[in-house]
Copies of this chain bind each other. A is one copy, B any other.
Amino acid sequence: MTYSNKVSKIVYGGDYNPEQWSEDIWEEDMRMFKLAHIDIVTLNVFSWASLQPDENTYDFTKLDKIMDLVRENGLKVCLATSTGAHPAWMAKKYPDILRTEINGLKRKFGGRHNSCPNSPAYHKYSVRLAEKLADRYKSYDNIVAWHISNEFGGECYCENCERAFRVWLKDKYKTIEELNRVWNTAFWGHTFYDWDEIVLPNLLSEHFAPERTMFQGISLDYKRFNSDSMLNCFQEEYDTIKKITPDIPITTNLMGFYPVLDYQKWANHMDFASWDSYPSNGDSMAKMAMSHDLIRGIKKGEPFVLMEQTPSVTNWQPYNALKRPGVMRLWSYQAVAHGADAIMFFQMRRSIGACEKFHGAVIDHAGHENTRVFRELEALGAELEKIGNMTLGAKTDAKAALVFDWDNWWAVQLSAGPSCELQYYEEVLAYYTALHSNHIPVDIIGTENDLSGYQIVIAPVLYMTKGNYDEKIRQFVKEGGTFVTTFLSGITEEHDLVITGGYPGPLRDIMGIWVEETDALPKGSENTFSYKGIKYPAKLLCDIMHLEGARALSSYETEFYAGTPVIVKNEFGKGSSYYIGTSSNGEFYEEFIKDICMEKGVRPVCVTPKEVEATERKNESGTYLFYLNHGEKENKVVLEKDYQDILTDTFYHKNEELSLKARDVMILKEAADA
């Protein structure tokens, strides 16, 4: 089943802001939407100021017209609650709605992401608006989903947040003694005697740079608190709407690997996941794929909605190159290949003023259909109609899992030492890229996920081992799983307090080693090690370890710790664990992942040239193989089974060699008896 029972194909459309235009334009929009096979629009994203001109007045006249217009034109609606940016009059009348920056300065009205998540005014009026919208439009059966606020994000350091932080802490730690313990306040004499002595950790208190803190525990809790505060805003709107329209699923548009909000926690409160995909210039196909897999992962494999992407160009990058011909289609299908059941864009019509006027749109400033971009959109729309309901609800069957955990991300980024170059995300990406290059389907999981369905679990830089996560790993390996972790793992528990007695702390028995020291390599310098006869670099950090049951697969080749182990394997219970004591390059990871997958019998989707991505999705109607040629040249693939191309209806036989043009895509349905 897909995210909504009202969709019977991959919906196609995006953010539509007719309120920026005079009504004579609206009919032209409808005409062009039909040309492009658009069947869904997201409405009402930024209309709060329009819907509520003052404290007591609500005016839905224009929205009514728009809702009727799109219903009459057969369009489905993703209805936003407009609470992503508050009205100017509200900021003036209730300044508590304005955020305070990390530097301690109170903001004025402007921009978006601008409401304090602990503002009483925001809570009151955002919930009231959501209620009015749900009540007014509950009878529109073309609403397929609610879209709460927009791209929740940012932080606030105001007095209301400070008070709420103290409440949050008291709920969590109960006593001030426990708070002092988990924050290790004996260090630098920070002992608190009363909750009211606690201040938010910002540039006026514990931080000496936005991400550099003197008390990791305080800053880590602030990040959790801030994520929870925003989640609370979401939840209040959710509950209000759910009461009125219990059958319409509710979401909010996420932003991939967004460091501010713990999406794994959020996902538990959302009916389905949706996100906005804006890769930066030069992002690899694996990097883009990892974001899709994250979003699929946070809802345990359920299909997701690609809520926003640009049809052509962004405006906010330093250099906003055009998406080359074919790229919009390729990246759209990449989302589908990784679990998307909807392809949507920001935006339907390009605005004429303010900061996004140079952001691409379905309908450009030229205003007509005779553009390269529109022609590509039209062609994709036709294809999606052809595909119909075939791929809807299809799942990815992964035997490998990659652990990504927000608490770990925060803790590693906040850490003072050992190296300024350590980036949790980059280390996870390195392993993801190796899995992707090997065409191994992978789930991106958090620490709450069950591991029993996997053959291989990889947890790079598992710096923080929360609660009994070590025990979950221990059972997984004992029962036959393969577990991989790396340098700087098992260091702290959930409050970022070091687990003493020898690194990697609670993982020590599983890994069969003791890490005595960690050497941070100066900028530009590298150590080396050899694996299966080939020399690879050891970069960033080098754990210096002693074997306690494990076996060394490779050793450092230079420095005073030359000859000591860098890659080790430990047999543990029925399974085995690998500890990679340093950071290396893509060639090494690709080779290493290939070996452990082969060892466990975890098979690739299929074998293809480097530039061709391959994924598989399965549902009741069949199994679908996606070939995506990310290259700028033609590439050939050889089929491993009999297939039918669902875009062309062509049948192909096993061992047949097919040609994919530059940036071309093929979706092949496995023949019933294949």
Q: Give A contacts to B, CB under 8 Å.
A: 17, 19-20, 46-50, 53-54, 82, 85-89, 91-92, 101, 103-112, 182-194, 196-202, 204-208, 213-217, 281-282, 312-322, 324-325, 350-359, 365-367, 371-373, 415-421, 495-498, 500-503, 514, 516-523, 560
Q: Is the CB of A204 within 8 A of B365?
A: no
Q: Is the CB of B501 within 8 A of A216?
A: no
Most chain B CB within 10 A, of A357, A366, A419, is at: A357
Tell me which residues across on chain B come within 8 A of A197, comparing CB atoms: 88-89, 91-92, 109
Contacts beyond the supplied A214-B355, A320-B520, A322-B518: 8 A-B pairs with Cβ under 8 Å:
A183-B354, A188-B354, A214-B354, A217-B354, A313-B417, A353-B496, A356-B416, A365-B503
Q: Is the CB of A354 within 8 A of B108?
A: no
Tell me which residues across on chain B come within 8 A of A354, comparing CB atoms: 183-184, 187-188, 190, 214-217
Q: Is the CB of A495 within 8 A of B353?
A: yes
Tell me which residues across on chain B come within 8 A of A194, comparing CB atoms: 89, 92
Assembly of this chain: how many copies? 3
Q: Is the CB of B312 within 8 A of A191?
A: no
Q: Is the CB of B319 within 8 A of A88?
A: no
Subset of 19 A-B contacts with CB under 8 Å: A46-B186, A49-B189, A88-B192, A88-B197, A92-B194, A92-B197, A105-B204, A187-B353, A217-B353, A281-B522, A315-B418, A316-B416, A318-B421, A318-B523, A320-B419, A365-B498, A365-B500, A366-B501, A371-B516
Tell me which residues across on chain B come within 8 A of A371, comparing CB atoms: 516-517
Q: Is the CB of A523 within 8 A of B88?
A: no
Q: Is the CB of B497 within 8 A of A359?
A: no
Closest 10 CB pairs of A and B: A184-B353, A110-B205, A315-B417, A358-B417, A46-B189, A49-B191, A352-B498, A355-B416, A88-B197, A110-B206
Tell me which residues across on chain B come within 8 A of A367, comparing CB atoms: 500-502
**CB within 8 Å for A324 and B193 given contacts A352-B500, A359-B417:** no
Tell me which residues across on chain B come within 8 A of A421, comparing CB atoms: 318-319
Tell me which residues across on chain B come within 8 A of A320, comparing CB atoms: 417-419, 520
Q: Complex formed: what's the CA distance from A82 to B188 in Å?
A: 9
Tell me which residues across on chain B come within 8 A of A502, comparing CB atoms: 365-367
Q: Which residue of B lies closest to A502 (CB)?
A: B366
Q: Is the CB of B498 within 8 A of A205?
A: no
Tell me which residues across on chain B come within 8 A of A201, comparing CB atoms: 110
Q: Is the CB of A107 within 8 A of B205?
A: yes
Q: Is the CB of A215 within 8 A of B355?
A: yes
Most chain B CB within 10 A, of A317, A353, A518, is at: A353
**CB within 8 Å for A416 and B92 given contacts A110-B206, A189-B47:** no
Q: Which residue of B lies closest to A21 (CB)?
A: B186
Q: Complex formed: what's the CA distance from A421 to B319 in Å?
A: 8
Q: Complex formed: what's the CA distance from A416 to B111 in Å?
A: 14
Q: Which of B111, B314, B373, B523 contacts A319 (CB 8 A)?
A: B523
**CB within 8 Å for A214 and B110 given contacts A88-B197, A193-B54, A352-B498:** yes
Q: Is the CB of B351 within 8 A of A417?
A: no
Q: Complex formed: what's the CA distance from A580 to B114 in Å?
A: 41
Q: Which residue of B lies closest to A312 (CB)?
A: B517
**CB within 8 Å for A358 and B418 given contacts A371-B516, A500-B365:** yes
Most chain B CB within 10 A, of A88, A182, A502, is at: A88
